[in-house]
Chains A and B, each alone.
Chain A
Amino acid sequence: MKKTVGLAALAAVLLCGSAYAQQTSVKIGVLTDMSSLYADDTGIGSVIAAKLAAEDFMKAHPNYKVEVLSADHQNKPDVGTNIANQWIDRDGVDMIADVPNSGVALAINEVTRAKNKVFIASGPASSDLTGPKCSPNTVHYTYDTWMLANGTGKAIVKTGGDTWFFLTSDYAFGHALERDTAAVVEKAGGKVLGKVRHPLNTSDFSSFLLQAQASKAKVIGLANAGGDTINAIKQGAEFGIVAGGQKFAGLLIFAPDVQALGLKTAQGLTFTETWYWDLNDGTRAWTKRWDKERNSPGKLPSMNMAGVYSGTLEYLNAVAKVGGSKDGKKVVDEMKKMTAEDPVYGKTTIRADGRALHPAYLFEVKKPEESKYPGDLYKLKATIPPDEAFRPLKDGKCPLVSG
């Protein structure tokens, strides 16, 4: 009995002691895809990015203690919702980051809105997150569908690719991507010669590719994603599409995909990204740190992972300014007032609808003989300034934007 009392007293003293240290704690949950189609573009790499951001922040603010949790949403919206709710209700998570897969992200968008926490969306593509479904608790980093369509469409026409043929995945996302890109191409003075729709998750693209080849269009726009894009490019190489002078324009493709395809297959592929590891000294230095943590030689960070880093860092800086992480809306409001500057994403501002603005880049995949060192994948073709890269504020139909 005496012993228990003694222990209890000791525990109480210890508790008081830790309270004296006056450390404010912030918890971040990285909700991502660890096991399925987005695992290479986000997954464990995103968790590392968040940890690096936490590390950097704690160095500058020793009175804060940042903890990073992570979980796999398995691309199921209700698994994601369940984890997010439990994180917030039970574990006291203040911010949820990453969330590839728009279906899951839109669900998390509602959870953080209802519970007044913060959602740093760097994984999902849907531009609805800053459009009709925008939330005062959400900041959308990295990219969105509007930016991909617009950036790629406009920039390619400018660099001479003025006739297009679309290979479109036959569902809402593919249609939207095709429609937006076609509009941009035509507005910029280009012409759409034709399009063909293929079912989702197709393994045989031969008839579609032959049609694309026969159209004689200079550019074949791939309005699809994931495995479909990769299959189309692989089979296109076998049909000698790029060798025949036509070019693929990927509307949704990431550095790890290009790496997986290999330069020989992917050469000549043109697309838009907001970040590339070999962009400047800052990105190279960060990649080195990331690589050390990842400890898997040959892997490259994607723009989503870099987005997790920058978004998390900016979030934490805003928390430090506000002086606490409990009121999510207040932190996001502060983020919207700040201009962030970090070595990875450079200068970033956040708009009223939650869109993070930074430049976007048009890249072309190098030929194997042009690649000088491992990971040397892209040629920079054009830089799109932030105000042109993203959808104008008034076109988004976001209820947060008055007028």
Chain B
Amino acid sequence: MDTTTSPVMTGAAAPSMVRRNGETIGFVIMVAALIVAPFFVYPLFLMQAMCFALFACAFNLLIGYGGLLSFGHALYFGWASYLAAHAAKVWGLTPELAILTGTATAAVFGLAAGSLAIRRQGIYFAMITLALAQMMYFVALRMKFTGGEDGIQAVPRGHLFGVIDLTNDMTMYVVVLVIFLAGFMLIYRIIHSPFGEVLKAIRENEPRAVSLGYKTERYKLIAFMLSATLAGVAGSTKAITMQIASLTDVNWPMSGEVVLMTLVGGLGTIFGPVVGAFVILFMQFKLSVVGEWVLVIQGVIFVTCVLLFRRGIVGEIAALFKR
């Protein structure tokens, strides 16, 4: 936690300027890499990875900056993807409206689940979010429109704003890139706003924040909802890009996977979740050729990460520069 100790304590002095410079450089590198990448790496894979990266960033907003470990983020991600897929396929909405539908669904679920969960802390908070997510998983399993264990297939990508044809992978790539960067910058903005500072203060010492006159419950609820909504953006975008919505995305291993992505990348760092998402997805994708060894290799990599880079990949790099 030391790398990200909040500026509330230190003031917005010189170290913060250094970090901001570092973040600008990191951002430029990331954007440049994502623009060049589709010419070298399979674009569909990159799009999927960006959706997961946004999902992990949204999750990181809650745990890394609010100190709230939600173990049910698949709920918002998965249900948003179902609603977006359904809106595009059955209601015939254009992709941007379908994504909005999914996002709105996630926001509503986030508000409902959040207002229940934030009343408790620590493990109880995690358990409540997990319980709610599993409840909604079974609803998804049983409802007709989700197709149960078969999921929704052949979701049309459609025409953006009714004009731009998204069937071409490169056009779709640009759209996903824009959505990802917009989401990323929004999260960055939230973290560095006064609201974000209060959030960090709550993470460090909640009773103290209360004693300073902040209504912490309200801050936590808003943070929860924002995180759920952004997870919804990621889920809906993924449904449109991959043209499917399935049970995998609402089930609890997905909630665990996003925790892993954030941990591997670096908890509470702005780029950590992005790096983590790319690493984990790259492993899933590349290791699919080695067959039954996939789980063993994944396990070894996780153990190595936890033992050697406690702060996550990005966290360790940041610490290296500080020295």
Interface residues of A (CB under 8 A from B): 34-35, 39, 43-44, 70-79, 81-83, 85-86, 89-90, 102-103, 106-107, 109-110, 113, 126, 128, 133, 171-173, 200
Contact = CB atoms under 8 A, between A and B. Distances in A.
Query: Closest 9 A-B residue pairs measured CB to CB?
Result: A34-B291, A172-B148, A77-B246, A71-B288, A110-B154, A72-B288, A34-B292, A78-B242, A76-B248
B295 A35 contact: yes
B115 interface: no
A171 B288 contact: no
B48 interface: yes
Given A78-B238, A171-B141, 12 more contacts: A35-B294, A35-B295, A39-B292, A70-B289, A78-B248, A86-B45, A90-B42, A110-B153, A128-B150, A133-B153, A171-B148, A172-B142
A73 B289 CA distance: 9
A74 B285 CA distance: 10
B243 A81 contact: yes
Nearest to B296: A35
Of B45, B247, B248, B291, most A-chain CB atoms within 10 Å: B291
Given A78-B248, A86-B45, A126 B150 contact: yes
Contacts of A78: 48, 238, 242, 244, 246, 248-249
Contacts of B285: 79, 82-83
Contact of B44 (A74, A85, A106, A109): A85
B219 to A, nearest CB: 34
B38 interface: no
B149 interface: yes
Contact of B149 (A70, A85, A102): A102
Chain B interface residue number, banded:
20 to 34
Interface string B39-66: 0001011001000000000000000000
A77 B151 contact: yes
B242 A103 contact: no
A82 B153 CA distance: 14
Q: Is the interface of A mostly helix, strand, loop or mixed?
A: helix
Interface of B is mostly: helix
B150 A106 contact: yes
A82 B45 contact: yes
A347 B143 CA distance: 41
B304 interface: no
Contacts of B148: 171-173
A34 B247 CA distance: 20
A395 B176 CA distance: 42
Interface string B139-162: 001100000111101100000000
A74 B244 contact: no
A165 to B, nearest CB: 23
A102 B150 contact: yes
A102 B149 CA distance: 8
A74 B242 contact: no
Nearest to B47: A82
A81 B249 CA distance: 14
B249 to A, nearest CB: 8
Contact of A44 (B141, B247, B288, B291): B291
A43 B292 CA distance: 9
Contacts of A70: 289, 291
Contacts of A71: 288-289
Nearest to A200: B141
Contact of B246 (A103, A110, A171): A103
22 contacts: A34-B291, A34-B292, A35-B295, A70-B291, A72-B287, A72-B288, A76-B248, A76-B284, A77-B244, A78-B248, A79-B288, A81-B242, A81-B244, A82-B44, A85-B44, A86-B44, A103-B149, A103-B150, A106-B150, A172-B141, A172-B149, A172-B150
A82 B51 CA distance: 14
B136 to A, nearest CB: 15
B292 A106 contact: no
A78 B142 CA distance: 21
A85 B45 CA distance: 10
Listed residue (A44, A82, A83, A90) with the most chain B CB atoms within 10 angstroms of its CB: A82
Contacts of A76: 246, 248, 284
Contacts of B45: 82, 86
Contacts of A90: 42
